[in-house]
């Protein structure tokens, strides 16, 4: 997923699929998610529920929430460290629009 849309009221889980870069015996051992608004300001606490971060089968998941149309798009960055000490990162754009 490169991008997705949501309304400010909506809250749901999105995932970053690292399964294609992990080797057969490699697992995710550490995760981190951050968010920047369109101005480059840190918005992690307002649009990401960091207590919801989970991982299964090479996919890192996190709950997104809130957001403001005037600060959209947000850049969500998903980072992992693997059992082989490899570091991987995926960026996703989150567009917030009140319809």
- What tens digit of pLDDT does each residue of 4-17 get? 999 999 999 999 99
Q: Domains in the chain, ordered, with CATH?
A: 3-96 (2.60.40.10)
| Beta pairing, strands 3-6 & 87-96 | parallel
pLDDT digits (tens, 9 = 90+) for 56-94: 999 999 999 999 999 999 999 999 999 999 999 999 999
Q: Assign 99 a pLDDT band (cuts: 50, 70, 90).
A: confident
pLDDT digits (tens, 9 = 90+) for 29-62: 999 999 999 999 999 999 999 999 999 999 999 9
Q: CB–CB of 92/14 below 8 Å? A: yes
């Amino acid at each position: 997923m490169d991008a997705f849309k949501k309304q400010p009221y909506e809250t749901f889980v999105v995932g970053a699929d690292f399964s294609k870069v992990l080797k057969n015996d490699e697992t995710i051992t550490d995760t981190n998610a951050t968010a920047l608004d369109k101005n480059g300001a840190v918005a992690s606490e307002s649009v990401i529920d960091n207590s919801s971060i989970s991982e299964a089968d090479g996919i890192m998941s996190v709950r997104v929430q809130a957001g403001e149309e005037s600060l959209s798009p947000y850049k969500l960055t998903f980072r992992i460290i693997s059992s082989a000490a490899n570091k991987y990162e995926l960026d996703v754009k989150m567009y917030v629009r009140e319809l």
